[in-house]
Amino acid sequence: MADPQGRYDVIVIGAGPSGSVAATILANQGYKVLILEQQHFPRFSIGESLLPQSMEFLEQAGMLQAVVEAGFQYKNGAAFCRGQEYDYFDFRQKFSTGWGTTYQVQRAQFDKTLADCAAERGAEVRYGQTVTAIQQSASGVGVDVEPEVGQPYQAKAEFVLDGSGFGRVLPRLLNLEKASQLGSRIALFTHIEDNISDRRFDRNKILITVHPEHAEIWYWLIPFSDGRASVGVVLPRERFDDSNMDRLETLQEYIREGGILSDVLNQAHFDTAIRTLDGYSCDVESLYGDRFALLGNAGEFLDPVFSSGVTIALKSATLAAATVHRQLQGQSPDWEQEYAQPLKTGIDTFRAFVEGWYDGRLQDVIFAHDKSDPVKAMISSILAGYAWDTRNPYVSEPARLSTLAELCRS
């Protein structure tokens, strides 16, 4: 489908999950796809706890077997603790049909697995490539590229998909960025040799911990299959002063204040540099435009609390690839109705839960005693990533969360 000059059907910026999945779907359909990735894989990335809904998208793209065979940590739910309080959601016991299990993944290996799948399916993957400009015209689109080695060049295609994640290439180049309505927070995190022997900890579940005294502070603990884990704390931005602090000491001090989490990690070995993710919540004026669309975090990122990032990324890749296919076939798809609005259905559901987490409503639901099994199954579905299942009352009407919180409080 390419002309002799090397023109592509689709250029994908970024070889992360959204870019690789979109590229693979399009390559499976016979399109000539070029992926331009700034970094070299494998490389470190955050966002390691997948949601079961993600498995459906990987399966649709024909990438599931490679992920299953990679040896990642099995995951069947999410556990929550606050001080010495503890409860959990088993994703196999959910309202929505579909996958109830998934994996906790080291993103360096996971992302490389997906990128390799894209290459095996025929997408051309170029690493060490920085996109510096974009030109749109009636005849196509061109992106200016500065490679690590060699001369700058321009790659041309019919369409561009931006899966650059927090790099947010097209939002910056096209002035699409806008402030998120969510509060400004910072995450402080690392990988550890966890040495966990505490029987209260279930390696098949992510553990999310609320600070016993400050409900706006929370922690994640994501176990991997090799005895290591990802651990992090999320703070309001005003609580963090990087100019006068030891990051390791700060993270360990917060963990010591974490109730059950402190007990679970009392033998942990901190052997990796501490990283930060600052001001991560972001939004854009539009998810699409003339011959381009934004995928995953390049469009909007909410918050890491429910591990929704990769799920939204893969959903966006699946929707965008289908819509691009129709456009390349000479149809005139309605990008608002066929891409933006369907994607936003799930984003809005996750946003309602994120907001409910930070204002306390969802925490009151999670830690309530004697929860109704049917309602718990509905909440479990959303925590498992089924935020597009409009049969679920908490998807079709996210405001129901407020009523549920009041019932739990009473």
State the Cα–Cα distance between residues 177 and 298, nearest whole angstrom: 10
Residue 6's pLDDT is what?
65
Alpha-carbon distance values, 7 to 153, 155, 387 (Å):
13, 7, 37
How far apart, in Å, are the Cα atoms of 252 and each of 74, 99, 139, 189, 235? 27, 35, 56, 10, 14
Contact 64, 55 (CB under 8 A): yes
DSSP 159-210: EEEE--GGG-HHHHHTT-EE--SSPPEEEEEEEEE-----TT--TTEEEEEE
**3.30.200.20, 3.30.9.100, 3.40.50.720, 3.40.640.10: CATH of 185-278:** 3.30.9.100
Q: Tell me what pLDDT residue 3 has.
A: 40
Q: Would you say residue 329 has pLDDT above 90?
A: yes
Q: Give the model confidence (pLDDT) of 270-320 as tens digits.
A: 999 999 988 788 889 999 999 999 999 999 888 899 999 999 999 999 999
Bridge partners of residue 88, in order along the sequence:
79
Model confidence at 43, pLDDT cuts 50, 70, 90, reads very high
> For residue 245, what pLDDT is reported?
76
pTM to 2 decimals? Answer: 0.95
- Predicted confidence (pLDDT) at residue 1 exceeds the cutoff of 60: no
Alpha-carbon span 383 to 402, nearest angstrom: 17
134, containing H or E segment: strand 129-137
Q: Does the structure show a pLDDT above 50 at 128?
A: yes
- CB contact set of 190 (below 8 Å; sequence gap of 6+): 230, 231, 232, 248, 251, 270, 272, 273, 274, 275
Is pLDDT of 224 > 80? yes
Domain-wise residue ranges, the chain: 8-73+98-179+281-346, 185-278, 365-409
Coil, helix or strand at residue 2: coil
User: Tens digit of pLDDT for each residue in 73-112?
Assistant: 999 999 999 988 999 999 999 999 999 999 999 999 999 9
Instruction: Give me the mean pLDDT over the 159-163 stretch.
Output: 98
pLDDT value at residue 247 = 92
Considering the chain, what is the average pLDDT of its residues?
94
Instruction: Return the pLDDT at 2.
Output: 38
Q: Which CATH number is correct for 8-73+98-179+281-346, 3.40.50.1260, 3.50.50.60, 3.10.20.30, 3.30.470.20? A: 3.50.50.60
SS3 407: helix
pLDDT at residue 216 is higher than 80: yes
Confidence at 191, pLDDT banded by 50, 70, 90: very high
Q: Over 50: is that where the pLDDT of 4 sits? A: no
pLDDT at 240: 80
